Amino acid sequence: MPVTFIPALDGQTIVLGSTIYPDSDVHIDASALPGGLTLSGGGVTLLFQLLPGVERVDLTGLTLTAGFSSTTGGAVDNLGEITLLDCTLHGNSATGAGGAIRNSGKLTLVGCTLYGNSASQGGAIISATTGENFTRLARCTVAGNTASTRGGGLWNFRGETFLIRCTVTANSAAQHSGGGVAASGVAANSAFTRCLNTIIAGNAGSDVARMDAVGLNGFISGGHNLIGTGSALNAFIAAGDLVNVTDPRLAALAGYGGPTPTTPPYSGSAAIDAGGATANPYPVDQRGLPRLVDGDGMGGAQVDIGAVEYDGTEVSATVLNNANAGAGSLRSIPRLLPLRHPTDHLATSSVRHPAPAIGALGTARPPFSRLLLDPGSVLQFRHS
Ligand SMILES: [Ca+2]
């Protein structure tokens, strides 16, 4: 049964006083509203729960926010089969696992963004499936979610999870506990976390973590992933995999076109044109813009890694405060980080020339820019 909304509800919020339990074949679609439609749990209730046996439920063009569960799954608790298309899930929380979603059924997310959700485990999503059930994310962005223990973005506790052309960044968890994605291993829990053309980098508390001490690594690479750090790094040895990329050079989450906020790469990001020449099942990126773009000017259109294709247009950045460092500061701008170091010598040095990008220094790509440092300053190069 299709469910749509009258134009007068454009940009409006519906506050739910209790959970909605959809039946099979319910399709809730707000994509005709230019300003979208928000469903809020008011910080007190779970928004949707699909009971076992409920199938073919679709949510399109919705924003799900302020959902709350004292157990698992703040916005969506799925024991059936649900697909979310072009949805934004933010500001949801669970006392247990899965700040936005707990999935034990069949879950598909396409073109969705999950940000600012929080839980104990799995800041945005916990996946705990068996048998034919699965969690699949395609061209989605998972950014800025928080877990107090493991899996800041996702926690794959059990079963099959797929990350296809996704970007997972700026999430956080406890140290070494998968600020991006945490997963059990194969022997421990039959957990298979399959990644293809996906960025998992720039998260706090490691990017990819295998949480059990024994058995096989449950991460499986389909190739052309861009990964930062973590205990599961040794799974990313397929063609085109890039590892130890601690700074993926992604823009802050914001609206860059399309129905959902995203984190596009800046020029010089290792993600650009690194998606390989493999068959491309998605002609568009998360925003709905063309996927095959020559981003490095070297000729030949190549797919980028991650949810968003760099189109050659430099993303602008705005300094929000006069702090020396931290969110919104001048130093936080991605392309102004080439000399970042724990001892932070630049804090007491004078840079009298615009600093070059990391790529210009780290890859010895001329021409170099000149840096004039005060006496006593230490200049350190860091490969990225
Ligand atoms: Ca490209």
Structural domain boundaries of the chain?
2-235, 324-384
Query: Mean pLDDT highest for which of 8-22, 205-219, 298-312?
Result: 8-22
Say which range, 122-136, 182-196, 202-216, 326-340, has the weakest mean pLDDT. Answer: 326-340
Interval between CA 382 and ligand 1 midpoint (Å): 26
Interval between CA 159 and ligand 1 midpoint (Å): 32
- How far is 289 from 194, CA to CA, in rounded Å? 25
> Which residue is it, tokens 């598909």?
108
Say which range, 116-125, 154-163, 172-181, 326-335, has the weakest mean pLDDT. Answer: 326-335
Q: What is residue 329's predicted lDDT score, i.e. its pLDDT?
A: 87
363 pLDDT band, cuts 50/70/90, is very low
**Mean pLDDT (whole number) for 323-349:** 59
Interval between CA 5 and ligand 1 midpoint (Å): 37
- How far is 225 from 184, CA to CA, in rounded Å? 19
Q: What is residue 95's predicted lDDT score, i.e. its pLDDT?
A: 98
**Mean pLDDT (whole number) for 108-120:** 98
The share of the chain scoring above pLDDT 90, in percent, equals: 71
342 compared with 11, residue with greater pLDDT: 11
- How far is 234 from 221, CA to CA, in rounded Å? 10
pTM of the model: 0.84
Interval between CA 271 and ligand 1 midpoint (Å): 8
Interval between CA 297 and ligand 1 midpoint (Å): 9
Interval between CA 243 and ligand 1 midpoint (Å): 19
- How far is 75 from 46, CA to CA, in rounded Å? 5
Interval between CA 305 and ligand 1 midpoint (Å): 8
**Mean pLDDT (whole number) for 347-364:** 35
**Mean pLDDT (whole number) for 103-119:** 98
169 compared with 324, residue with greater pLDDT: 169
Could you tell me which of 165, 212, 168 has the C-alpha nearest to residue 190? Answer: 212
Query: How does strand 48-50 pair with strand 76-78?
Result: parallel
Interval between CA 308 and ligand 1 midpoint (Å): 9
Q: What is residue 336's predicted lDDT score, i.e. its pLDDT?
A: 61
- Residue 371 scores a pLDDT above 50: no
Interval between CA 31 and ligand 1 midpoint (Å): 28
User: DSSP label at 121?
Assistant: B
The share of the chain scoring above pLDDT 70, in percent, equals: 85
The pLDDT tens digits for 45-99 are 999 999 999 999 999 999 999 999 999 999 999 999 999 999 999 999 999 999 9
Interval between CA 142 and ligand 1 midpoint (Å): 21
Residue 244 CB neighbour total at 10 angstroms: 13
Interval between CA 300 and ligand 1 midpoint (Å): 9
The chain-wide mean pLDDT, for the chain, equals 86
Integer-rounded Cα Rg, in Å, for the chain is: 21
**Mean pLDDT (whole number) for 305-316:** 85
Contact 14, 45 (CB under 8 A): no
- How far is 209 from 18, CA to CA, in rounded Å? 36
Interval between CA 198 and ligand 1 midpoint (Å): 14
Q: What is residue 316's predicted lDDT score, i.e. its pLDDT?
A: 74
- In the chain, DSSP finds a helix count (H) and a strand count (E) of 2, 28
Q: What is residue 296's predicted lDDT score, i.e. its pLDDT?
A: 78
User: How buried is residue 278: exposed, middle or buried, by Cβ count under 10 Å (0-12/13-18/19+)?
Assistant: middle
Q: What is residue 64's predicted lDDT score, i.e. its pLDDT?
A: 98
Per-residue burial over 188-225, b = 16 or more CB atoms within 10 Å of its CB, e = otherwise: bbebbbbbbbbbbbbbebbbbbbbbeeeebbbbbbbbb
Q: What is residue 362's predicted lDDT score, i.e. its pLDDT?
A: 34
Per-residue burial over 296-319, b = 16 or more CB atoms within 10 Å of its CB, e = otherwise: beeeeebbbbbbbbbbeeebeeee
- How far is 344 from 337, CA to CA, in rounded Å? 11
Interval between CA 248 and ligand 1 midpoint (Å): 15
- How far is 109 from 122, CA to CA, in rounded Å? 16
Interval between CA 292 and ligand 1 midpoint (Å): 6
Interval between CA 265 and ligand 1 midpoint (Å): 10
Q: What is residue 283's predicted lDDT score, i.e. its pLDDT?
A: 85
Q: What is residue 312's predicted lDDT score, i.e. its pLDDT?
A: 78
User: DSSP label at 172?
Assistant: B
- How far is 262 from 239, CA to CA, in rounded Å? 26
Query: Mean pLDDT highest for which of 184-198, 229-243, 333-347?
Result: 229-243
Interval between CA 193 and ligand 1 midpoint (Å): 25
Interval between CA 365 and ligand 1 midpoint (Å): 20
The pLDDT tens digits for 255-305 are 999 999 999 998 889 999 999 865 566 789 999 998 888 887 777 788 999
Q: What is residue 279's predicted lDDT score, i.e. its pLDDT?
A: 56
Interval between CA 275 and ligand 1 midpoint (Å): 8
Identify whether 261 is preceded by a cis peptide bond (ω within 30 of 0): no
